[in-house]
Structure formats: structure tokens, C-alpha cells
Amino acid sequence: MAKPKIAIFDFACCEGCQLQIVNLEEEILSLLGGADVVEWREAMSEKSDEYDIAIIEGSITRMEDEERLKVIRGKAKVLIALGACAVIGGINKLKNNFDDLEEVKKCVYGKAAGKPHLHTGPTKAVGEVVQVDFSVPGCPIDGKEFTYIVRSLLMGKTPEIPEYPVCVECKANGNPCLWQYDQVCLGPIIRAGCGARCPSNGFRCFGCRGYVDKPNVDAAKDVINRFGLNIDDLKTKMVLFGSRQEPTIYE
Ligand code: SF4
Ligand code: SF4
Ligand code: SF4
């Protein structure tokens, strides 16, 4: 039986998530023993128009990117969004907070802002343009989670990512809660799966894995109120990975 064909594509991003895949080294060889990688710009020069699984890194910021993504979606049986940029729009979505993108471009590119290849529009996550079948969250992704998801698909199984918040992993690690140390940690509403990496190292969760599907809004509000803050205080801490994503906690 022919092996499934995998193609990896990148859009607007830093390519750090692809680097996480490259860093898997021997594990990636074992993983890809069950598949043929037919296109992957970061690691090989071959290209192909035929693939079963398309892995998409990066966010969508230009009309031509949307068209390219739709063509990829049309060819792939399964489409995976790779990393925060693809899954939730990521850091690129920060620019959506500004009304005048020309000003944003000037701020970033200075005198070069008018060059045609630098045109840009509001950022979209991959799922805002085409249907996404599976997501690998995080900025960057966790290599083990990526391996689990791809291996599951190659074995004909449906991969599942955690549907509980970072706090669960944080408490399992025995950490003191950072809210007690004046850090506005987003752990109660953010999807687990990173092993509570940031709070376990003394730094608040800033939300790179996106909101958990059904956040315990009442518990999160209790925490906010107990520490004398309100939703607006929380919003200012969500802007890095939560720009223009309105979670139910705001309601
Ligand atoms: S999710 Fe983070 S690490 Fe991955 S491509 Fe985007 S900015 Fe880079
Ligand atoms: S709010 Fe943050 S520090 Fe507190 S338990 Fe949750 S993840 Fe840990
Ligand atoms: S703790 Fe939060 S910010 Fe840190 S890796 Fe996990 S989800 Fe991302």
C-alpha cells in the first residue's frame, strides 16, 4: 500500500514551528517512515501537487495567501494547522488592533513600507479561510504533541489535544499560583498540553495555546475578582495571543 503523502507549507510566520519539527531529528525519521514527505520548503527542494496531508504553518495576511491556501485545501484530504500563527492568528494578529494598517507598515518597515511585496491586510487564522481538521497549538509547537498528532493520523486514529486549562497541569506540577505573586496568569482559560511550561518556570501563562474550548468562566471570574481586578485588566494581558478573539469570559 502506498504511503500517505505529507506536504508542509508556510505562510506569514517566523518558521519556528517548522524548526521544532526539524529539531525532532531521529524521531522525525521514525515518524516519517510511515509517510512520504513530498514538499517542505524549509528542509528540501522538491515540490509536489499531490499530497494527502497538508500541514500549514503561519497566518494569512494577503488575498494571494488566501487563494494559495484554498488551492492547498482543495488538494489535501487532511489539513493540519501548525502553531499559534496558523491556529489562532498568533502574534501577527496584533496588527488587527490598529485601524490604519498603512501606519502599521510605516512603523515596521519605515521608508520601504510602500514596496509592493510588503502589502498586507488584517491577519486571519487558517481556520478563518478554510476548514481545519486538526490543530497543533503553541508558539512554538511542542514537538512531542506534533509527533503524537501525525503518528495518530498515520495509524488511522483521531488525535485528541487537551480540553482542560493550563491550571490543571500547573497544579499537578505542584506550583504555587502566580496570581498570589501579582502576575495575571491566563492559565484558567488557556488550553493545556504544554505541561504548564511558563508558570512552572515562574512566568505567567500568556496564552500561546489559545483558549480552551469550554473555559470555566465562573471560576476564572472568581479568580479575577478575588485579586481585585476586572475583565478590562485581563484583556490587557490577553493582547499578545488573544487579539480580536473574544472569549466567552468577556460576556
Ligand atoms: S507560532 Fe510562534 S514559533 Fe510558530 S511560526 Fe508562529 S511565531 Fe513562529
Ligand atoms: S493561574 Fe497560572 S499560576 Fe495559577 S494555577 Fe493556573 S496556571 Fe498556575
Ligand atoms: S504556559 Fe501558556 S504561554 Fe506558556 S507554553 Fe503553556 S500555553 Fe503557552
pLDDT digits (tens, 9 = 90+) for 6-41: 999 999 999 999 999 999 888 887 887 889 999 999
Q: Which domain holds residue 112?
A: 5-154
Asked whether residue 238 carries a pLDDT value surpassing 90, the answer given is: no
Looking at the structure, do residues 86 and 184 belong to the same domain, yes or no?
A: no
Q: Is 196 in the pocket of ligand 2 (CB under 6 A)?
A: yes
Q: What is the DSSP letter of 111?
A: G
pLDDT the model gives residue 132: 98
Closest to 17 in 3D by CA, of 146, 134, 129: 146
pLDDT the model gives residue 119: 86
Tell me what the mean pLDDT of segment 56-65 comes to: 96
- 124 phi/psi in degrees, rounded to 5: -125, 145
Percent of the chain past pLDDT 70, that is, above it, reads: 96
Could you tell me the pLDDT band of residue 120, with boundaries at 50, 70 and 90?
confident
Q: What is the mean pLDDT of the chain?
A: 91
Sign of the dihedral defined by the CA atoms of residues 130, 135, 140, 146, in that order: negative
Looking at the structure, do residues 100 and 182 belong to the same domain, yes or no?
A: no
Asked whether residue 246 carries a pLDDT value surpassing 60, the answer given is: no
Could you tell me where the beta strands, DSSP code E, fall in the chain? 5-10, 36-40, 53-57, 78-82, 134-136
pLDDT the model gives residue 249: 47
CA 201 to ligand 3 center in whole angstroms: 11
**Spatial distance between the Cα atoms of 164 and 216, rounded to a whole number of angstroms:** 9
pLDDT in tens, 135-163: 999 999 999 999 999 999 999 999 999 99
In a domain, 127, yes or no: yes
In a domain, 67, yes or no: yes
Q: Are 49 and 96 in contact (CB under 8 A)?
A: no
pLDDT the model gives residue 240: 85
In a domain, 196, yes or no: yes
pLDDT the model gives residue 27: 83
pLDDT the model gives residue 31: 81
The total number of structural domains in the chain stands at: 2
CA 132 to ligand 3 center in whole angstroms: 22
CA 191 to ligand 2 center in whole angstroms: 12
CA 228 to ligand 3 center in whole angstroms: 24
Looking at the structure, do residues 181 and 220 belong to the same domain, yes or no?
A: yes
Select the more confidently predicted residue: 96 or 219: 96
Q: Which of 128, 154, 180 is the last residue of a domain?
A: 154
Please report the atom of ligand 2 found closest to the CA of residue 170.
8
In a domain, 36, yes or no: yes
Residues in the chain: 251
Q: Is 10 in the pocket of ligand 1 (CB under 6 A)?
A: no
pLDDT the model gives residue 118: 87
- Residue 134 CA: distances (Å) to CA of 24, 70, 148, 198, 242: 20, 16, 12, 24, 20
In a domain, 159, yes or no: no
Please report the atom of ligand 1 found closest to the CA of residue 141.
4
pLDDT in tens, 193-237: 999 999 999 999 999 999 998 888 888 888 888 999 887 887 788
pLDDT the model gives residue 223: 86
Looking at the structure, do residues 13 and 130 belong to the same domain, yes or no?
A: yes
Looking at the structure, do residues 14 and 136 belong to the same domain, yes or no?
A: yes
In a domain, 161, yes or no: no
Record the pTM. 0.92
| DSSP letter for each residue of 26-45 | HHHHHHGGGSEEEEETTT-S
pLDDT the model gives residue 234: 79
Asked whether residue 248 carries a pLDDT value surpassing 50, the answer given is: no
Q: Could you tell me the CATH number of the domain that includes residue 115?
A: 3.40.50.700
Looking at the structure, do residues 150 and 184 belong to the same domain, yes or no?
A: no
